[in-house]
């Protein structure tokens, strides 16, 4: 039997996204209805399509020309299931990020918040950790949050995200907040808990900042040798390599969903560190032709690595950085 679909048109940075959502999937329609509608706007530089439907099998399928994405699964409209909610957001934003690169809008695998009036993004350099934890730590000092996991950075150095994307706090991180930030932990401990941890609304816990000029990109490394906590400003070459990995990691997971720790298809979550195959990342880099664009993107944005032994010292070491 032929399925009926509801069509939603979305515009992100002159990129037109045609969303075809099966008509019975009302929760998913409501979710993506939170994005800006593009009806009446005809000047598009690009156009892509996403189909979301109910199916007996869970899968994410990218067309050969990479312009059509299909997301399917059993009971997929149940957004109280975090694997549905996060899986849909992962696939959507990564697909948009794959194509928005052509419009000089880059999707970073990172979490961003405000500290001392500066927008900071904690990103993935292939080995860094604690992106969400670090963004919350500084937001607890400013009460201002930009976004978790999916942050767009444009060619003018402005970072942005969406307030409906939940902050994902895994159990061990929640235990940390219970010990060191009890008031914050108490604000979410009785709600939104799942087998994958907690999913909390940024705007219910902090003042939501939609966009702000980015002051620095920071890569957090835990100091396993218990050396003195420190920070290092990266060279242009080091910055380029680190930011490139932050962009490629999202795209890599779109091409190979098995790389996700929070896995939509298998409905499993893991704390295991993801190791990216260098040849695989290099093949994506060549296909996207990213080299020169990354240099221009970070020309005026300093990048740092911080080395800490305890997460509660994140703020102390960041205070020493002057972006």
Q: Give whole-number Cα distances, 242 to 77, 108, 276, 285, in Å.
A: 36, 11, 13, 13
What pairs with residue 213 in β-bridges? 158
The whole-number pLDDT of residue 126 equals 86
Q: Set out the domains of the chain in order of their start, with CATH numbers.
A: 1-103 (no CATH), 104-323 (3.40.50)
**pTM beyond cutoff 0.85:** yes
**pLDDT truncated to tens, each residue of the chain (323 aa)?**
568 999 999 988 778 999 999 999 999 999 999 986 655 445 555 689 999 999 999 999 999 999 999 999 999 999 999 999 999 999 999 999 999 998 899 999 999 999 999 999 999 998 888 999 999 999 999 999 999 999 999 999 999 999 999 999 999 999 999 999 999 999 988 766 777 889 999 999 999 999 999 999 999 998 766 667 889 999 999 999 999 999 999 999 999 888 888 899 988 888 777 777 888 888 888 888 876 788 888 889 999 999 998 888 999 999 988 65
The whole-number pLDDT of residue 225 equals 66
């Amino acid at each position: 039997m032929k399925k009926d679909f509801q069509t939603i048109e979305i515009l992100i940075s002159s990129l037109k996204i045609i969303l075809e959502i099966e008509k019975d999937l009302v929760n998913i329609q409501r979710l993506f209805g939170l994005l800006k509608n593009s009806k009446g706007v005809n000047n598009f530089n690009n156009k892509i399509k996403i189909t979301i439907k109910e199916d007996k099998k869970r899968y994410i399928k990218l067309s050969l020309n990479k312009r059509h994405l299909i997301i399917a699964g059993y009971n997929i409209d149940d957004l109280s299931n975090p694997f549905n909610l996060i899986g849909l957001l992962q696939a959507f934003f990564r697909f948009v990020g794959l194509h928005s690169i052509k419009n000089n809008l880059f999707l970073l695998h990172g979490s961003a918040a405000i500290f001392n009036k500066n927008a900071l993004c904690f990103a993935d350099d292939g080995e860094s950790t604690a992106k969400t934890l670090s963004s919350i730590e500084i937001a607890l000092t400013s009460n201002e949050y930009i976004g978790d996991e999916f942050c767009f950075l444009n060619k003018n150095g402005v970072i942005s995200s969406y307030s409906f994307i939940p902050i994902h706090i895994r159990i061990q991180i929640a235990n940390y907040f219970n010990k060191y930030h009890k008031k914050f932990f108490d604000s979410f401990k009785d709600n939104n808990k799942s087998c994958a941890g907690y999913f909390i609304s940024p705007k219910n816990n902090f003042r939501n900042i939609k966009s702000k000029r980015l002051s620095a990109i920071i890569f957090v490394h835990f100091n396993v040798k218990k050396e003195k906590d420190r920070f290092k400003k990266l060279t242009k070459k080091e910055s380029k390599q680190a930011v490139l990995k932050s962009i490629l990691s999202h795209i890599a997971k779109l091409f190979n969903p098995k790389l996700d720790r929070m896995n939509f298809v298998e409905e499993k979550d893991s704390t295991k560190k993801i190791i990216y195959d260098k040849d695989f990342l290099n093949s994506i880099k060549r296909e996207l032709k990213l080299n020169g664009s990354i240099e221009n993107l970070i020309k005026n944005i300093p990048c740092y690595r911080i080395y800490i032994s305890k997460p509660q010292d994140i703020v102390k070491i960041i205070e020493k950085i002057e972006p």
